[in-house]
Homo-oligomer: A and B are copies of this chain.
Amino acid sequence: MGAKKKLKRKIKSLKAKLRKKGAAPAVSPLAPAAFPDLPVIRGARFASASAGVRYKGRTDVMLALLAPGSVLAGSFTRSATRAPSVFNAQRKIGDTAADGAAILVNSGNANAFTGAEGVAAVQSICEAVAQTLGLPESRVFTASTGVIGELLPHERITAVLDQLAAELSEASLPDAARAIMTTDTFPKGAAATVEIGGVPVQIAGIAKGSGMIAPDMATMLVYIFTDARITRPVLESMVTRLTDKTFNCITVDSDTSTSDMLLVGATCQSEAPLIELDNSPAGVAFAQALGEVMRDLAHQVVRDGEGATKFIEVVVSGARSDADARRVAFAIANSPLVKTAAAGEDPNWGRIVMAVGKSGAEADRDRLSIRLGPHLVAYQGQVARSYSEEVGAAYMKNAEIVIGVDLRLGVGAATVWTCDLTNRYIEINADYRS
């Protein structure tokens, strides 16, 4: 154990050195100006506490309690090595019991790849939360984000449950956003109000993620609450469809976490009419508002991408299918060469051509056109006559960049969001953990 201690001390001093050298920005340059005002969601209360799972001097556990009558829907990572809390939540999410629900999240330890003990830790936490709050265990969801492969000290979490239960408040969602942060440089929140049958319905959500998705400190977790009156099947169908257009359309580094989880809880306590159909006017209006909150949070995750200095939107049109458009968009958004070019403010459209080519989607070099923001760069298989490097280089100086690709083959379209790939990403991830 002496050697281990020595190693740890060395790591600490090296990290401090790097921090000094790297002059890491305290907050991402792409962060929103301020944390938004979040409306009260009737029937939803929140609390956070310092359990000391890993971090000192900050909160690292959050609890959400939804009143009886709430319905829940979720999206989960498809990783084959997902954490036991994810498996546990997936098993329970379809439950339609109306006893209310609780969500407990810790940061600092992902409780992933921790074998039978990890499964038992999830069970212990769920049972303790259920007992403390008087809920059936089947209505308790838990999530963990942090280092992979270390046993979760779950008794530190259960030790603060009474404190959490005592402090539950409708106003504490912003604090919860802070408690779930890991390498995030800013807390992430978003809200919307939508009128359903003349009654305002509130939606408020929080997220964490900073690197899409570094498995050991940057898992993506999203929790959204609403007082909408909505049936579980409709909420489920909306969440699935909207996740696909928002959180499943972002990438920081193409790596997928073992713990990604999105939960949407509707307390059904608004006076608005019940949303029973996906495509009713009320359903469409609510889905639009929910989608805006989800997109806003998804964008904030990209804006806090590890080392990010550019926010990049990739818009692909004219593909043979939406799936093909998505393939092209992700090939561009995940290309290290496109991302390093953005970091270097280099209008290197040849790399966009390369990414289209390797995507596997149907493409015809001689039909392809490429835009950087409003500037047509490449057209009909070669550089556009009107394009000049000066214009491209000036455009790349923007903090927000739009890459447009038109394949001119069909009507398939997709939009995805990413950030650039900088030295800081390497520093964070080459240094982090050891």
Question: Is B4 touching A115 in the complex (CB atoms < 8 A)?
Answer: no
Which of chain A's residues 405-431 have a Cβ closer than 8 Å to chain B? 421-423, 425-427, 429-431
Say whether A381 faces chain B, with CB atoms less than 8 Å apart. yes
A430 touches B4 (CB 8 A): no
**A 248-279 to B, binary, CB cutoff 8 A, 1 in contact else 0:** 00000111111000000000000000000000
- The answer to the question of A34 belonging to the interface, with a C-beta cut-off of 8 Å to chain B, is no
Cα-based distance from A422 to B383 in the complex (angstroms): 32
Closest to A219 in B: B354
- Tell me if A365 is interfacial: C-beta within 8 Å of chain B: yes
Task: Report yes or no: A353 in contact with B434, Cβ–Cβ below 8 A.
Answer: no
Residues of B within 8 A of A236 (CB): none
Is A163 an interface residue, CB under 8 A from the partner? no
> A132 near B: Cβ within 8 Å?
no
Verify if A12 is at the interface (C-beta below 8 Å from B): no
Residue A375 at the chain B interface, CB threshold 8 Å: no
A426 interface neighbour in B114, B115, B348, B421, Cβ under 8 Å: B421
Min C-beta distance of A6 to chain B, whole Å:
9
Quick check: B380 and A80 within 8 Å, CB to CB? no
Let me know if B359 and A80 touch, CB within 8 A.
yes
- Assuming A113-B365, A335-B255, A380-B115, is B429 touching A340 (CB within 8 A)? yes
Count of this chain's copies in the oligomeric assembly = 2
- By a CB distance below 8 angstroms, the chain B residues around A358 are 79-80, 255-256
Decide yes or no whether A362 CB sits under 8 A from chain B.
yes
Instruction: Across the interface, name the chain B residue whose C-beta is closest to A117.
Output: B382
- Quick one: which of A334-379 are within 8 Å of B by CB? 334-337, 340-341, 343-344, 346-351, 353-359, 361-366, 368, 378
The answer to whether the Cβ of A112 comes within 8 Å of any Cβ in the partner chain is yes
Residues of B close to A421: CB separation below 8 A: 336, 426
A368-B81, A426-B343 given; A382·B7 CB < 8 A: no
A 288-300 binary contact with B (CB < 8 Å = 1; else 0): 0000000000000
- Measured in the bound complex, the distance between the Cα atoms of B388 and A115 in whole Å is 17
Q: Are A433 and B7 in contact (CB under 8 A)?
A: no
Q: Is A390 an interface residue (CB 8 A)?
A: yes
Query: Is A69 an interface residue, CB under 8 A from the partner?
Result: no
Whole-angstrom distance between the Cβ of A51 and the nearest chain B Cβ: 21
A255 & B149 in contact (Cβ 8 Å cutoff):
no
Please measure, in the bound complex, the distance between the C-alpha atom of A393 and the C-alpha atom of B380, giving whole angstroms: 52
Pair A357/B80 contact, Cβ less than 8 Å: yes
Q: Mark A94-108, 1 if CB is under 8 A from B, else 0.
A: 000000000000000
With an 8 Å Cβ cutoff, the count of chain A residues facing the other chain is 78
Query: Which of A81, A115, A335, A381 has the most chain B CB atoms inside 10 A of its CB?
Result: A81
A74 close to chain B: CB less than 8 A: no
* CA distance in complex: A354, B335 (Å): 19
Is A118 in contact with chain B by the CB < 8 A criterion?
Answer: yes
A382–B113 contact, CB under 8 A?
Answer: yes
Contacts of A215 in B (CB 8 A): 337, 350-351, 353-354
**A426 close to B434 (CB less than 8 A):** no
Chain B residue numbers with a CB within 8 Å of A354 are 79, 81, 148, 215, 255-258
Contacts of A227 in B (CB 8 A): none
28 contacts between A and B (CB under 8 A): A4-B389, A4-B390, A7-B393, A79-B358, A80-B356, A80-B365, A81-B363, A110-B350, A112-B350, A113-B353, A115-B366, A115-B380, A116-B381, A118-B382, A147-B350, A148-B351, A149-B382, A211-B337, A215-B351, A216-B350, A216-B351, A254-B334, A254-B336, A256-B358, A258-B353, A336-B421, A340-B426, A422-B426
